[in-house]
Chain A
Amino acid sequence: MTVEVNRFKCGYCGACVSVCPSGALELIETWIEVDKTCTDCGICAGICPVGALEVPE
């Protein structure tokens, strides 16, 4: 499982990318991509200024 990004909320600022310990996130122009190295740690979801990221249950 990987963290889910709500593209309709995301402001594509890249804050989440900077805190990801495994480098699983990438800001590409106007969206965030998550790769398989995501460990569901949830750090990105915590710091997101708008709450656009969610760790699946």
Chain B
Amino acid sequence: MKDRYDVIVVGAGPAGSMTAKTAANEGLDVLLIEKRQQIGDPVRCAEGVNKEYLKEFIQPDPAWISAEVKGSKIYAPDGAMVEMGEELSGSEVGYVLERKVFDRALARDAALAGAEVMVKTRATGLLMEDGFVKGIKAQHMGEKYNIRADIVVGADGVESKVGRWAGIDTTLKPKDICTCAQYIMTDIDIDTDFCKFYLGHKIAPLGYIWVFPKGNNMANVGIGITGNMSGEVRAKELLDDFVQKRYPGGKVIEFIVGGVPVCGTIERTVANGLMLVGDAARQSDPVTGGGIFNSIWAGDIAGKVAANAIKHSDVSAGFLQEYETKWRAELGRDLDMSLVVKERFTRLTDDELNTLGHSLEGIDLDSVSLIGLLWALFKANKKLLWDLRSIFKGIKEIEMEASVEVNS
């Protein structure tokens, strides 16, 4: 470890490792720190990702692909099922990853690109001078260090402190976090071709239960519920109820808990000498909770903007605004749309969810986008989903129609 770098990235999840890799590839002197001893563990994630999107950033490796899936099946409370093809499911299916191996592969890529990596190293504060972030206070093996950098990138996950230290309020309200529990289960009979989602206020209040195939008779079975529904009942208890009913003979070989931001875009993700990426920037999707691809995509932008800022000797919030503008232009718009969908869907009763499920039951929605699914639901249930009309503005009806290939 040196006493100064161009960029320090706090957190070696997908967002941090991608930022570090891109920044190092751009020729910057980069330090990537991870507070845990092991990168990628525990995963805190359902591990689904759209494979076509992912391929843009990392060469697929069988070592971190647990399973490939054809699509998703979504179950309404009464069992009505809507089947979606791979592309329709947005960024949630395609590959079911082995995150432990995947996260390590991304960190390795960052290291091979030239970044220095330190594990069991925690940021405990920021070095601030004249309103600029100038590095971090860190702790490694009980020793304290001050490490200077022109830019600090906070990729420190749902529990992010980096933003707060720089004056960006990233505190989540209970309704803005999904509280999750999941098992890796084995010795169960599962559909290996589809990721399954179960909706309903009784089984998963303001959330859903997922069953993702992991290959070799294993599955990632988990639940996420909105934080304000947690307390009287908890994610783990509800998951146990589901598992006992659905997979009574199944065996649990891993238990993981986690929190996922579902708040939508926050006010800002840059400050003087600082950028936030991934869950720390609340870039996960408010409807699905998915964030792996978003993190990688935003991390790549952050790495490039960091290089540009350092080249121009300007790391002010004004210059780093380029990152903010770029990620908001595409991802921000998607997150805003998802937030509208989330607000509507969380107010639906189980009966209304059943109505939606039945309206598309028996129809294979193949090769369509998420907006296409919503459009199909909207057209069949205009009264119920009238609040969603704003999300279709600016998108030509013909495009949405074209994106829905209905094979009945």
Q: Which chain A residues have a beta carbon within 8 Å of chain B's beta carbons?
A: 11-21, 23, 26-30, 43, 45-51
Bound-state CA distance A14–B177 (Å) is 11
Min CB distance, A2 to chain B, in Å? 18
> Which residues from chain B contact A46 at a C-beta distance below 8 Å?
174, 227-228, 230-231
| Candidates A14, A29, A30, A48; contact of B230 at CB < 8 Å | A48
- B164 interfacial by beta-carbon distance below 8 Å: yes
Q: Which residue of A lies closest to B173 (CB)?
A: A19
Chain B: residues with CB nearer than 8 A to chain A? 35-37, 42, 44, 120, 122, 157-161, 164, 170-174, 177, 179-181, 227-228, 230-231, 234-236, 255-259, 261
Minimum CB distance partner of B263 in chain A: A18
A18 touches B261 (CB 8 A): yes
Asked whether A50 and B236 contact (CB < 8 A) given A15-B179, A27-B159, A29-B120, the answer is yes
Most chain A C-beta atoms within 10 Å of own C-beta, residue among B120, B170, B230: B230
On whether A18 and B259 interact (CB within 8 A), knowing A47-B177, A49-B179, A49-B234, the answer reads yes
Report the nearest B residue to A10, measured CB to CB. B257
Give complex CA distance A48, B232 in Å.
11
Q: Known contacts A47-B177, A47-B227, A49-B235; decide if A13 and B258 are in contact (CB<8 Å).
A: yes
Question: Which of A12, A15, A23, A29 meets B177, CB within 8 Å?
Answer: A15
In Å, the complex CA distance between A30 and B37 comes to 10
Q: Are B179 and A26 in contact (CB under 8 A)?
A: no
A26 / chain B contacts, CB cutoff of 8 Å: 159, 161
Q: Of all chain A residues, which has the CB nearest B225?
A: A49
Q: How far is the CA of A27 from the CA of B235 in the complex (A)?
A: 20
Q: In the complex, A32→B230 CA distance in Å?
A: 19
Instruction: State whether B35 touches A21 (Cβ < 8 A).
Output: no
Minimum Cβ distance to chain B for residue A56 (Å): 17
Q: Is the CB of A14 within 8 A of B236?
A: no
Residues A23 and B164 in contact in the complex (CB < 8 Å), given A28-B35, A49-B181, A50-B234: yes
Are B257 and A50 interface neighbours, CB within 8 A? yes
Q: Which of B36, B172, B173, B255 has the most CB of A within 10 A?
A: B172
Task: Find chain B residues with CB under 8 A from A27 CB.
Answer: 35, 159
For A45, the chain B residues whose CB sits under 8 A away are 231
- Bound: A5/B374 CA distance, A: 42
The answer to whether B177 and A18 touch across the interface, beta carbons within 8 angstroms, is yes
Cβ contact within 8 Å between A29 and B35: yes
Complexed CA–CA distance, A19 and B303 (Å): 28
Complex Cα gap A22–B393 (Å): 39
The residue in chain B whose Cβ has the minimal distance to the Cβ of A9 is B236
CB <8 Å contact, A20 and B177: no
- When distances are taken between beta carbons in the complex, the residues of chain A under 8 Å from B180 are 13, 49
Please measure, in the bound complex, the distance between the C-alpha atom of A29 and the C-alpha atom of B122, giving whole angstroms: 8
| Contact call B230/A49, Cβ cutoff below 8 A | yes
Q: How far is the CB of A7 from chain B (nearest CB, A)?
A: 14
Q: Are A47 and B230 in contact (CB under 8 A)?
A: yes
Give the shortest distance, in Å, between A45 (CB) and chain B (any CB). Answer: 8
| Best-surrounded residue of B37, B159, B255, B258 (most CB of chain A within 10 A) | B159
Residues of A near B228 (CB, < 8 A) are 46
Pairwise interchain contact B259-A23, C-beta atoms closer than 8 A: no
A19 to B44, CA, bound (A): 17
Q: How far is the CA of A26 from the CA of B164 in the complex (A)?
A: 12
| Cβ–Cβ < 8 Å partners of B258 in chain A | 11, 13-15, 49
A9 to chain B, nearest CB (A): 9
Residues of B within 8 A of A49 (CB): 179-181, 230, 234-236, 257-259
Contacts of B261 in A (CB 8 A): 18
Residues of A within 8 A of B174 (CB): 19, 43, 46-47
7 A-B pairs closest in CB distance? A15-B259, A14-B159, A11-B257, A17-B159, A49-B235, A47-B227, A46-B231
Complex Cα spacing A50 to B259, Å: 12
* CB of A36, distance to nearest CB on chain B (Å): 16
Chain B CB within 10 Å, residue with most, of A30, A43, A49: A49
